[in-house]
Structure 1
């Protein structure tokens, strides 16, 4: 099983999906991306997750994030499952559900569960920046549904800290104070952060989100 680490280039691939063939890097373009995997079609937790992901369409679009889902089931199964998702979750699925019945993408991304069936993918999340670098990897157990508010919060943090010399503290939400990186001197901070900052400790300085 391949091991992808933070900072690696997200593997490119070509695959069929419910929205036609996906050439992954080309499909991402200049957008951020979120790729989520599912153990199988017609599973209860995943049905609620894909419905939630569909209902967060505008929130992802406003952050320039393209989303896609993948499992090892074939395309015709995906198309039938989408009907169930839309019916039961009051949602419209406008993102591609990638078919990976030959497990090529799942193995490329290390999604095959090592302690389960050889055809079962773990429930992974990969968030990818416009430069195609992997910025976040999360792995969930089958019993626990993903929290899409948390995924949006993480994306907000990643997008903020990608270009600013900032980090976000515990439980941070968009609009709240950020942490200035220790590598930035107070003199530099005065110039970089016009709203000022509060020094709690020399290594712990807070500034309002720009």
Structure 2
């Protein structure tokens, strides 16, 4: 029970400040503060030179320009050394023709992995699971997704989620399942009976009922 409580306490939580870090990477030391004013996608992988991780890193690399267009940086992590990271990056470029344009944290002491709850003993004692964290320009953790060791992530989904988060922040709306830019968004439910009646009779929204109204941005 004690170990379980420690794990829960150590897990980061949405809409709270993301755990600070000061970590060595393939681009030198990086801190969370370095990314202030930008979105950050911090993602972990179990190990270098593994096939599933290689596919994910190539997908992140190919979509890096799209993340950058949205004022978002990418930062990888695994519990491997600088030398291993560099050798793996060179191998991906040589064997697959894909250059990795973002830094990778060398987290040999597992400090960042532990702070972000990336170590799940049920999966592996010394490897980070496939965890992805989306941190906003104010350093607030906005989303986190965990995948098992055996299955790769869908990188386009994280780009879609970034678009959705940025749209919600800018316009004060929510987005429905599978929302893509250009689709209708969900407006906040009416807070009073009078407002609900006005909304149902307004031509500004497409309402199924007072609590479910959408609009085109």
Q: Please report the TM-score for the alignment, with normalisation by the length of structure 2.
A: 0.88
Q: Does 1:113 align with 2:126?
A: no
CA contact 2:190–2:211 (8 Å) conserved in 1: no
Aligned to 1:198: 206
Q: Please report the TM-score for the alignment, with normalisation by the length of structure 1.
A: 0.91
Choose 1 or 2 for highest CA Rg: 2
Range 173-182 or range 110-119, more displaced: 110-119
Cα deviation per residue 1:36-66 (whole Å; 9 max; x = unaligned)? Answer: 0011111101011111111111100111111
- The verdict on how the C-alpha distance between 1:203 and 1:12 changes in structure 2, with shifts beyond 3 A counting, is same
Q: What's the C-alpha RMSD, in Å, of the aligned pairs? A: 2.0
Q: Does 1:181 align with 2:188?
A: yes
Q: Does 1:12 align with 2:20?
A: yes
Equivalent in 160, 165, 169 of residue 167 of structure 2: 160
Aligned residues: 205
CA contact 1:51–1:86 (8 Å) conserved in 2: no
CA contact 2:36–2:139 (8 Å) conserved in 1: no
Equivalent in 90, 96, 100 of residue 83 of structure 1: 90
Q: In the TM superposition, what is the alpha-carbon distance from 1:5 to its structure 2 partner?
A: 1.3
Q: In the TM superposition, what is the alpha-carbon distance from 1:129 to its structure 2 partner?
A: 0.7
Cα deviation per residue 1:114-133 (whole Å; 9 max; x = unaligned)? Answer: 21332111110000111111
Aligned to 1:97: 104
Aligned to 2:48: 41
Structure 1 gap ranges (5+): none
Structure 2 gap ranges (5+): 1-6
